[in-house]
Amino acid sequence: MKPLAPTFAREVRRLRTERGLSLTRLAERVRYSKGYLSKIENGQVRPTPEMARAFEDALQADGVLMALADTPARPIPADDRVLLTYDAMFDHHRVLGHRSDPVSVLAALRPQVDVLSTMARSTDDPGLSSGLWLLAARYAEYAGWMEQERGDDASAADMTRRAVHYAVKGGDHELEAWALVRAAEFALYRGDARATVECARRASRSRSPAIQAVAAQREAQGYALAGAATLCEAALDRATTLQESIGASRYGSTSVTDQVAIATAWSYHDLGRHAEAAAMLDVAVPQIAPTALRARTRFGLRQALAHAEAGELDHACVLITDLLDDIRQVQSATVHIDLTSFSKLLFRARPAAGKELASEISAILFAG
């Protein structure tokens, strides 16, 4: 196979890896944030001479990066104020999505998708048009996730399709495979094991190891839904290998440090290995940033369910009680699925101490 031509993005990643630097460590040496460094390494940012000099000094590149600064992987003018402004705005929307209810987030997010796509169609600058289409794709993909959190899977799927369409116009063909991962997630929450596995398998044909890694995780979760333990373990092993090969580069939740560990615990819970799942989530959940309320409630609720099914109902009730305020705040449809499961379990067990908790859960599930 013919090796890929060197680009600024590829060389930055190669040099960082050779020097044993994480994105966090490199961020300490240059003036860019960890999130922006990830975009640079993925070719989503056009390198400027100032940027090239900063990386030359940080990575001791002997002039290689300066020479490649004029040959970016994707034609996105990073110094364009419009792109920089909307890129910063997207980060703000994502922060809101971590902590706020999806309806509020969508009220601000949806109009920006339309504005960006309209601007992309109107500009005569090919580089600016490409950048705007890619931003419109990011906004639309995130809006799709918020629609899912709102409980509207049809709107979520429609917004994800728009994101794929916009990404292709911007020159990014990977999002189509990511959309299949999202379809696997929809099926997972519906409890449709076959559809989860089928969509994940299709996504795994992507050329991107990062997408292959998360597709393998969804495939494992689909097998777990069906009780296919051997196939599940094989998919988890594949996910682990892929995740190790790509390092910090990843698709999916940016709030979760170890996505494979979360997927493994989720799968073990569905396979009836509740104590193992609980132990893994006891380690993984505290590593989620306190500001990422949506992720903490989703996986914290899974943690409580695992403990409850493992026979530790009192401990599970304590965990749920600590999550109630956050559950009320994020108003997540996917969280409510697991909250309903816990409510049923609590009803069957009928612990005397759980009556007040059961009442609070019912109030959340049937609010409005």
pLDDT by residue (tens digit) across 301-358? 999 999 999 999 999 999 999 999 999 999 999 999 999 999 999 888 876 667 889 8
The pLDDT of residue 37 is 83
For residues 84 and 168, state if they share a domain. Answer: yes
Q: Which domain holds residue 123?
A: 80-173
For residues 131 and 103, state if they share a domain. Answer: yes
For residues 63 and 91, state if they share a domain. Answer: no
Cα end-to-end span (Å), the chain: 59
Residue 121 lies in a domain: yes
The count of C-alpha atoms lying within 13 angstroms of the C-alpha of 360, restricted to the half-sphere facing its C-beta, is: 14
Boundary (domain end) residue, out of 68, 102, 117: 68
For residues 141 and 109, state if they share a domain. Answer: yes
The pLDDT of residue 79 is 45
Boundary (domain end) residue, out of 40, 68, 96: 68
For residues 48 and 88, state if they share a domain. Answer: no
What is the C-alpha separation between 201 and 188, in angstroms, rounded? Answer: 14
For residues 89 and 54, state if they share a domain. Answer: no
Residue 219 lies in a domain: no
**Residues of the chain predicted below pLDDT 70:** 1-5, 49, 69-80, 247-254, 351-353, 368
Residue 279 lies in a domain: no
Answer whether 181's CB lies under 8 Å from 189's CB: no
174, with CB counted inside 10 A (0-12, 13-18, 19+), is middle
Residue 318 lies in a domain: yes
- Tally of domains in the chain: 3
For residues 115 and 52, state if they share a domain. Answer: no
Contacts 24+ apart (CB under 8 A), 194-200: 194/222, 194/226, 195/222, 196/221, 196/222, 196/225, 197/222, 197/223, 197/226
Boundary (domain end) residue, out of 173, 195, 210: 173
The pLDDT of residue 128 is 84
For residues 111 and 57, state if they share a domain. Answer: no
For residues 89 and 159, state if they share a domain. Answer: yes
What would the pLDDT profile of 11-20 be if each residue is shown by its tens digit?
888 899 888 8
The most distant pair of C-alpha atoms in the chain lies apart, rounded to whole Å, by: 71
Contacts 24+ apart (CB under 8 A), 186-189: 186/148, 186/153, 186/156, 186/157, 187/222, 188/218, 188/221, 188/222, 188/225, 189/148, 189/334, 189/337
The pLDDT of residue 36 is 80
Residue 350 lies in a domain: yes
For residues 105 and 150, state if they share a domain. Answer: yes
Helices (H), 100-174: 102-122, 126-150, 153-169
Answer whether 90's CB lies under 8 Å from 142's CB: yes
pTM of the model: 0.72
The 8-class DSSP code of residue 254 comes to: S
Residue 104 lies in a domain: yes
For residues 98 and 161, state if they share a domain. Answer: yes
What is the C-alpha separation between 232 and 221, in angstroms, rounded? Answer: 7
Residue 250 lies in a domain: no
What would the pLDDT profile of 242-260 be if each residue is shown by its tens digit?
988 876 555 666 677 788 9
Residue 286 CB partners (closer than 8 Å, separation 6+): none
User: Per the structure block, which two tokens stand in for 141?
Assistant: 């993909």
The pLDDT of residue 348 is 86
CA 366 to chain centre: 28
What is the C-alpha separation between 368 and 364, in angstroms, rounded? Answer: 9
Residue 360 lies in a domain: yes
For residues 89 and 165, state if they share a domain. Answer: yes
